[in-house]
Amino acid sequence: MSADPTPARRSRRGTGAVTLHEVARIAGVAPITASRALNTPDQVSEEVRKKVQDAIAKTGYVPNRLAGSLASSRSKLVAAVVPTIAGPVFLETIQSLTEALAEKGYQLMLGQSGYADSREDALLDAIIGRRPDGIVLTGIMHSEQGRQRLKAAGIPVVETWDLTPSPIDMLVGFSHEQVGRAAVAYFKARGRTKLAVVSGDDERAARRTQGVVAAARSAHLPAVTVMNVPAPTTLRSGREALSELLSSRKDFDAVFCSSDLLALGVVTEARSRRIPVPEQLSVMGFGDLDFAADVLPSLTTVRVDGTAIGRKAAQFIVDRAEGRAVKDRVVDIGFEIIERQSA
């Protein structure tokens, strides 16, 4: 209830929001002291802490992190790039990444690159311009230009969901090629040798397909029939793919699908044609989405611990941001084939 004649007067700039300056003035301390009361409370006396708390409560002050970030060169912002958020595959990773970061006081910025590489460049600029403390890529960065920019920016980068011999910086993923090989071994061990693949046309799925083809060849199995469908994959494209596969009159007794949704589509189409799964046709998916265990027949699939990927990526970046050395900068998270009814 002061008699201040101009209670809300502001200079011509700014938003009119409460600033640390005002909090400090009300608390009767210097701005930097108020700053310390907030950020490094141990460096400040009990008394000061209390006064500042009160002033904050009274004013509803919310620190302007743009200013803080600019001054300290630490934004507490992490960018994640996904092809599209709509594909269910990376969701677990994004979720655990967001959570793990939030726990440490970091916020996530989301960028969608699309499955085409075209927008990636503009996206990269938008991201780098915010000076995030880290960038998490789903997949690896291929364009040499992109790699250069990221390196030049000096921002910690984690590539995920893939392996490469030459990561930009840090990496947590697994070998898609090995997934394909493991699938072939699985089928072969169960007497299935006439293999088909239904695959999304994104790059990682394509490498799983290559793994299947290569492994089949070295095991002297018949040539693998490959059917590509556009990414992101859907149940429908799985159904259509099986239809086409059947009408192609190729012979096959097992199908490896590049996603669980495709696998469910294949299983569904098989059911509508009264083709018994797995008796006549074995089907394997990829992803172990939450429905995989509970559909009929339940889906045999490849499980990748997307949550662990997100957590590990968060840890990598936070460690770096807090100045800790990161020693093992490449983590192979592996995968696992979950045996269920469909294969």
Instruction: Give me the residues that bind a copy of itself (CB under 8 A), please.
Output: 13-17, 60, 62-67, 69-70, 73, 75, 77, 84-86, 88, 91-92, 94-95, 98-99, 102, 105, 107-112, 119, 123, 125-131, 149, 152-154, 234-236, 239, 261, 264-265, 268, 271-272, 290-291, 293-296
Residue from the set 29, 55, 94, 197 that interacts with DNA by CB under 7 A: 29
Cβ 4 to DNA shortest distance, Å: 18
Cβ 45 to DNA shortest distance, Å: 4
Strand pairing category for 195-200 and 134-138:
unpaired
Q: Is 12 among the residues that bind DNA (CB under 7 A)?
A: yes
Closest CA to 135 of 306, 314, 304: 314
Q: What residue 35 binds from DNA, a copy of itself, none (CB within 5 to 8 A, per partner kind)?
A: DNA
- Tell me the backbone φ, ψ of residue 140, rounded to 5 degrees: -105, 155
Residue from the set 63, 88, 232, 334 that interacts with DNA by CB under 7 A: 63
Q: Is 32 among the residues that bind DNA (CB under 7 A)?
A: yes
Q: What residue 85 binds from a copy of itself, DNA, none (CB within 5 to 8 A, per partner kind)?
A: a copy of itself
CA distance 88 to 277: 25
Cβ 109 to a copy of itself shortest distance, Å: 5
| Cβ–Cβ under 8 Å, residues 247 and 239 | no
CB closer to DNA out of 61 and 252 = 61
CB closer to DNA out of 61 and 187 = 61
| Cβ–Cβ under 8 Å, residues 317 and 80 | no
Q: At what angle do helices 31-39 and 46-59 cross, to 10 degrees?
A: 100
CA distance 295 to 334: 25
- Tell me the backbone φ, ψ of residue 206, rounded to 5 degrees: -60, -35
Q: Is 21 among the residues that bind DNA (CB under 7 A)?
A: yes
CA distance 302 to 181: 12
Q: How far is CA 42 from CA 26, 37, 48, 129, 337, in A?
A: 21, 8, 11, 33, 50
CB closer to a copy of itself out of 145 and 218 = 145
Q: Is 208 among the residues that bind DNA (CB under 7 A)?
A: no
Residue from the set 26, 44, 172, 321 that interacts with DNA by CB under 7 A: 44
Site of tokens 């071994």: 185
Q: Is 6 among the residues that bind DNA (CB under 7 A)?
A: no
Q: For the chain, count helices (H), then strands (E).
A: 12, 12
Q: Is 55 among the residues that bind DNA (CB under 7 A)?
A: no
288-327: contacts with DNA (CB under 7 A): none
Site of tokens 């490849």: 302
CA-based diameter of the chain, in Å? Answer: 92
Residue from the set 71, 116, 152, 325 that interacts with DNA by CB under 7 A: 71
- Tell me the backbone φ, ψ of residue 262, rounded to 5 degrees: -60, -45
For residue 137, the SS3 value is: strand
Please name the amino acid found at residue 201. Answer: D
Q: Is 155 among the residues that bind DNA (CB under 7 A)?
A: no
Q: What residue 38 binds from DNA, a copy of itself, none (CB within 5 to 8 A, per partner kind)?
A: DNA
Tell me which residues touch DNA (CB under 7 A). 11-15, 17, 19-21, 29-33, 35-36, 38-39, 42-45, 47-48, 61, 63-64, 67-68, 70-74
